[in-house]
Amino acid sequence: MTELAVGNSIVVGVDGSEASMEALRWAARQAHALHAHVVAVHAWEPTGPRFAPYAPASTRPTAAEQRDRAACLLASTLRKVFGPRIDSSVRAVVVEGPPARVLLRHSRGAQLIALGRTPHGPHDQPTTGAVARACLRHATVPVVTVPFTAGRPAAQQAADIGEFCVGGSATQ
C-alpha cells in the first residue's frame, strides 16, 4: 500500500476529520471530471512513550497494532464518504511517516494534492495547519485546500466549493 501516485491522479490527505472527508468528496468530483484517480493517503506515526516506564509492555500498542488502527481509520473514512461500495478509481494508501513528507512523496507525478481545512481563526477565517503549510511550501504540484464548515448541509457545501484555496491564495 505504498505506491506513489502517477499520472492522472489526485492525492488527498486523510486524517479522519470532517474536513478531510470534504476534501475526499471534492477530489472525487474533480477526478470524475478529469477522468483521474483518487489516491487517499493516511500517514501515521508511531506513538511515543505515553505510558509510564514501569507500565507493562502489554498495555503499549505495538507498531503492527498502530498500523492496523491507521488502516481502519482510512477504511472507515472512505466508507463514510463513499458508502459501502468504494469506486475502483479510489485507491487507499496507509504509510508510516510524517504526514507532510508522506503526502509530498506520494504526490510526485500527480495532478494535485487536496487537503481539507476548517475555519479556526478569528471571525471564522481559515487557518492553515502545519501539514498544509508544508505542502504549500514544498509541493511540486498544485495544492487545493477545501473548506469545511460544520453545520452546513453537504449539498450547500458542494454548491459553495467554488471558494477554495490553491497554492495558498483564496479564489472565487
* CA distance readout (Å), 134 to 93, 103, 154: 20, 10, 28
Share of the chain above pLDDT 90, in %: 59
Number of H helices, E strands in the chain: 5, 7
Query: Domain spans of the chain?
Result: 9-44+70-171
Indicate the range of 9-13, 104-108, 133-137, 157-161 predicted with least confidence.
Answer: 157-161
Reported as type and span, the H/E element at residue 10 is strand 9-13
Residue 169: predicted pLDDT? 36
Segment 15-69, tens digit of pLDDT: 999 999 999 999 999 999 999 999 999 999 987 666 676 777 777 788 899 999 9
- Cα–chain-centroid distance for residue 81? 12
Among the four given CATH numbers 3.50.30.50, 3.40.50.620, 3.30.1300.10, 3.40.640.10, the one describing domain 9-44+70-171? 3.40.50.620
Indicate the range of 11-15, 31-35, 110-114, 164-168 predicted with least confidence.
Answer: 164-168
Cell of 121: 481563526
Report which of 64, 25, 30 is spatially closest to residue 142, judged by C-alpha positions: 30
Residue 128: predicted pLDDT? 78
Indicate the range of 49-53, 62-66, 110-114, 156-160 predicted with least confidence.
Answer: 156-160
Q: Residue 65: what residue type? A: E
* CA distance readout (Å), 126 to 9, 19, 113, 138: 26, 12, 18, 20
